[in-house]
Amino acid sequence: MIGERVERRLAAVLAADVAGYSRLMGRDEQRTHVGLKTVRRALIDPTIAGHSGRIVKTTGDGLLVEFSSVVEAVECAAEIQRGMAVQNRDVPHDLRIEFRIGIHVGDIIIDENDIFGDGVNIAARLEGIAKPGGICISRQVYDQVEGKLALNCRPLGPQNLKNISRSVEAYAVDLEGAAAGPFDPDDMPLKVDYCRASDGVRLAYAIAGSGPTLVKMANWMNHVQYDWESSVFRHFYTALAREFTLLRYDARGNGLSDWDVEDISLDAWVNDIETVVDAAGLDRFALLGMSQGCAVSVAFAVRHPERVSHLVLYGGFARGAYRRARNELELQQVKALATLIRTGWGSETPVFRQLFSSLFMPGGTPDQLQKFAERQRRTTSAECAYRFFETTRSLDVTELLPKVVVPTLVMHKREDQVQPFEAGRELAAGIPGARFVALQGQNHIPLEQDPETERMLEEIRLFLKGK
């Protein structure tokens, strides 16, 4: 009735269900039913009671729980997921009972023993976007638990949830051992987000994986979607995403970011990464620079030492090729390549693209060479490629090197065909306390079949995890 008073209260709401429940029941109905009853009785119900939660209702594969404390709700969810990870340790992946959990805090309506309202609906929708074995929380929950719990929360950005009129900012809670089984990139479609730089340029970025945050600095020829799918780069990025929360983005003039831009400069690139990490809600992170991205990474680390925990630089330089040229002949050789880029980039004739691919990865397979050549056409226009090339070859951050105060790892191939080995040594020598690792081989791109790629990945893991 219109005049009837509705009981309301503020509460933390936890929604959970079993991922792939219908599939599990179809495969082995009795095993699934008994298994779910067992984990409810032995783990889930006692954990909820131990955190002062109230089970509002259950369905065949899920439950809705109310908490008076947001911290208790998140602690309860983390304990459940850790317990389920232990339960599933020796269970085949296709037989595991894995819960997805969503948590929101908001105003709810009380009707006898049931609860209703946006607080409930948003929790249920967040559960729907959580990965199996994972927890997804709203920004309201994150604000309440930040600094109170020893948990890493990875920003997912604004989410358009089904039947929710406004976007909801969401976070994934990363739990060591909480996710059942290893990270499988095939089970996680890449979500691309966008933000705008101060001059209006639209920038594309994507986040994948879990663990400590690693931001890959944009460089020449990036495409967050195509690189994730390509046989040239996929192995490298998915390997990093298995260990870290990996953020990649496309530089202005590249990939899914705006191509038609006025300003291509060191300052613009540094401002762009500021825009991207702010949009992603990142405060402090490790930074990975590759090739031209190394110089930009140095500039960012000097400007924002409080935001960079570690600096990893591969195949890069402090001085661009125009600055390094020792004589007119060397300078003209580099300028000849710039002319080829401007005139041959968009050509239907494959000769230029094949030459360029062979330069970057002489050890590439025919498929990798073809994919890299195709990447040239997908990532940018001939004019943008030329402007980018001219700017990076004119960079000089040598005066910034002594100002780098964060732990730094520099790696470089001895016979790199794109950036000379001495450029990497010069980069490392100028940064106080930097560790330099010389890698064998010619490939500028870390190819999957190259044995030094695994060594490179292991060096990154050891350096960032402090082992």
Percentage of the residues of the chain whose pLDDT score is greater than 90 = 46
pLDDT tens, residue by residue, 87-138 = 887 787 778 899 999 999 988 888 877 888 888 889 999 998 888 888 999 9
Supply the pLDDT for residue 441. 92
Concatenating the DSSP letter of every residue in 211-243 gives SSEEEE---SS--HHHHHHSTTTHHHHHHHHTT
3-state secondary structure of 317: coil
Residue 188 pLDDT > 60? no
Supply the pLDDT for residue 343. 76
Residue 2 pLDDT > 80? no
Residue 465 pLDDT > 90? no
Q: How far apart are CA 353 and CA 373, in angstroms?
A: 5
Q: How far is CA 114 from CA 35, 55, 58, 110, in A?
A: 27, 10, 11, 6
Which residue would you say has higher pLDDT here, 161 or 71? 71
Residue 77 pLDDT > 80? yes
Q: Could you give phi then psi for residue 206, rounded to 5 degrees? A: -145, 145
Percentage of the residues of the chain whose pLDDT score is greater than 70 = 94
Which residue would you say has higher pLDDT here, 345 or 387? 387
pLDDT tens, residue by residue, 235-265 = 899 899 888 889 999 999 998 999 989 999 9
For residues 165-188, give the mean pLDDT. Answer: 63
* Out of 69-78, 113-122, 198-207, least confident range: 113-122
Supply the pLDDT for residue 181. 39
3-state secondary structure of 437: strand
Supply the pLDDT for residue 1. 43
* Out of 267-276, 286-295, 322-331, least confident range: 322-331
Q: What is the pLDDT confidence band of residue 196, given thresholds at 50, 70 and 90?
A: very high
The angle, 0 to 180 degrees and rounded to 10, between the axes of the packed helices 351-360 and 366-379 is 110
Q: How far is CA 405 from CA 218, 289, 299, 369, 425, in A?
A: 22, 16, 12, 38, 18
Q: What is the pLDDT confidence band of residue 184, given thresholds at 50, 70 and 90?
A: low
Supply the pLDDT for residue 346. 62
Which residue would you say has higher pLDDT here, 101 or 344? 101
Q: How far apart are CA 418 and CA 291, in angstroms?
A: 9
Which residue would you say has higher pLDDT here, 3 or 437? 437
Supply the pLDDT for residue 467. 44
Across the strands, what pairs with 373?
A: none
Q: What is the pLDDT confidence band of residue 187, given thresholds at 50, 70 and 90?
A: low
For residues 378-403, give the mean pLDDT. Answer: 90
Q: What is the pLDDT confidence band of residue 177, given thresholds at 50, 70 and 90?
A: very low
Question: Which range, 23-27, 172-176, 187-191, is most confident?
Answer: 23-27
Please, what is the average pLDDT of the chain? 87
Q: Looking up tokens 């933390």, which residue turns up?
A: 12
